[in-house]
Structure 1
Amino acid sequence: MAVVETETHGQILVVRMNRPDRLNALNHEMRTELSKVWNEFRHSKKLEVAIFTGAGRGFCAGEDMKESLKDGAPGGRRPEIEDPFMAGTLEKPVIAAINGFAMGGGFMLVERTDLRVAVREAVFEVSEAKRWLLGGYNHGHIANLPYPVAMEMALGFRFTAQRFHEIGFVNRLVDAAELMPTAIGMAEHLLTLPPASRVNTVHM
C-alpha cells in the first residue's frame, strides 16, 4: 500500500497521506514520498493547483514517535530531503482539506498551505511543549497566528476547527461530505485566475 496516494482532476492534483492506521503520522518513507510528489508537481507543465489531505479520520498526527524512538529521539536520523512544499519554494498554490486531527508536525503541514478547508470535527494541537520540545514552536510555523493565540498553541492547548475558522486560520468549515467538493471548487476558482496571480499570491 502506497503511503502517499495521488489523483488528478484536470489541472488539479490531489495528494493524500495514506497511513490511516497511524493517523497519517510522518515517517521516513512518507516524508520521502511526499518530497517526490511535491517536486513532480512543482515541475509539472500541466498541474497548477494541489489539494493536500489525509486518509481515514486524521489529516496528520505529526511525527511518527514509534519510529523516532527507534532512531533515538524525535527527528533522529531523519534523512535530508529536498521538499519544495516544506521549504516554501513550491510556487504553486496548495489547499489543505483537513479531514481530522492535525497535530504537531501535522499542524505544521497545514500552516504551510495557502487555503484551508476543514471538517467541523477537526482539531489542532502542538503537543511538543508537553514533551519539553517547545523550542521549534516559538517562531516559524505559528508566527502567522496572533501572538496570544500562537502562545496558546505553543503551550499545548487544543484548538477546534470552529475556533480556527473564527480567527481566520481556516477559510471554510464544512461537513465531512462537503470537504473534497469544497476544496475542488476552490481549486477550480484558482484556475480561472491568470497564472501570474496564482504565483504572486502564494505565501504573501
Structure 2
Amino acid sequence: MVENDLILTERREGYRIITLNRPDRLNSFNEPMHKALMSALIETEADSECRALILTGAGRGFCAGQDLADRLTSPGQQPPDLAATIEQFYNPLVRKLRGLRIPIIAAVNGVAAGAGANIALACDIVLAGRSAKFIQAFAKLGLVPDSGGTWFLPRLVGPARARALALLAEPVSAEQAEAWGMIWKTTDDAGLMDEAHRLASYFATQPTIGLGFIKQALDVSETNDLDRQLELERDLQGRAGRTPDYREGVAAFFEKRQPKFTGRA
C-alpha cells in the first residue's frame, strides 16, 4: 500500500484501490487532498497492469464534499473564489474519472455529500453500503450542484427527481438510490468492500480495451443523435474487432472454454 496521509493507494492483481483518507473530516476535500488524488489517478492511468479501480473512503464516510473549514472568511474579507476552485480542482477530477478507460467502482460507505456524491456518480459502477446516504447539500449553502451534479442527476434519476434533490437537498438512502437507478447496488455494510473487490477482480480478467470503448460510447450517447451514435458504434466496433482479446473471445467460444483476455492492444 502506498500512503501519503491524504490518499491511500493499494495494488492488487490487475486492479487498484484508492482510498480518500481524511476520516476525521469525513474525507472532505482540501487542496492537498485534491492534488494527491489527481496524482494517484494519473499513476493509475499510466499503469498498464491496472485494469480496474475501486474508489472508496476511510472511516465512517465516503466523502463530505468540500471542507468548509477552508472556506471560512472574516467580516470584511473577500469571499473565496469558488469558480476558481472548481476550474482548478473539481472539474479536472471529474474529467479524469470519466476519461479513464478502465472500469471504476465507487464503494460508498456512509455519507456522500455535495461534490462527494457527484464524484461517486461519476464512476462507472456505484456500490453503496446500506447505511450510505447521498446528499446534494449545495442548496443549503446557497450554491449550485457542481462536480457534474446537474449533468449526472437528470440522466440517472430523471428531471423531476433531479430537480427536487437539487432544490430540497434531502438525503437519499442507499436503497432508495438503487430503486431510482442512481446507483447499481446496495449491500450490507460489512460486505461492501468484498463486493467491490469481487467486481474489480472480475474486470481485471476481462477485455479492457473493449470495456473502454463501451464507456466511450455510453458517455456521448446522451448528446449524439441516432445517426452519429450508429457511426460511432461502427468505428469503435471496427477497432475492437482488431484487438487480440476479440480473437481470443471468439476462439474460446468455439473451443467451449473460458477466455484468457490480456487487456492489451
What whole-Å deviation, never above 9, does each CA across 1:124-173 have from its counterpart, x for those lacking one? 11111122112647732323221111112111121000100111222221
Higher relative strand content: 1
SS in 2 for 1:152: helix
Higher relative helix content: 2
Q: Distance in 2 between matches of 1:23 and 1:76?
A: 23
Q: Percent identity?
A: 29
Aligned match for 2:79, one of 49, 68, 72: 72
Q: 1:74 to 1:142 in 2, by over 3 A?
A: farther
CA contact (8 A) 2:145 2:166 kept: no
Deviation at 1:73, TM superposition (A): 2.8
Q: 1:135 to 1:85 in 2, by over 3 A?
A: closer
Greater alpha carbon shift after TM alignment, 189-198 vs 130-139: 130-139
Corresponding position of 2:136: 126
Q: Distance in 2 between matches of 1:81 and 1:129?
A: 21
- The residue type equivalent to 1:108 in the other structure is N
Structure 1: segments with no counterpart, 5+ residues: none
Deviation at 1:28, TM superposition (A): 0.3
Aligned match for 1:143, one of 136, 148, 154: 154
Corresponding position of 1:89: 99
Aligned match for 1:6, one of 1, 6, 9: 9
TM-score by length of 1: 0.91
Q: Distance in 2 between matches of 1:179 and 1:58?
A: 13
Deviation at 1:192, TM superposition (A): 2.8
Q: Does 1:172 align with 2:180?
A: no
Deviation at 1:50, TM superposition (A): 0.4
Structure 2: segments with no counterpart, 5+ residues: 219-265
CA contact (8 A) 1:68 1:76 kept: no
Corresponding position of 1:58: 61
CA RMSD of aligned residues (A): 2.2
SS in 2 for 1:116: strand
Equivalenced residues, count: 204
- The residue type equivalent to 1:174 in the other structure is T
Corresponding position of 2:231: none
Q: Distance in 2 between matches of 1:31 and 1:138?
A: 18
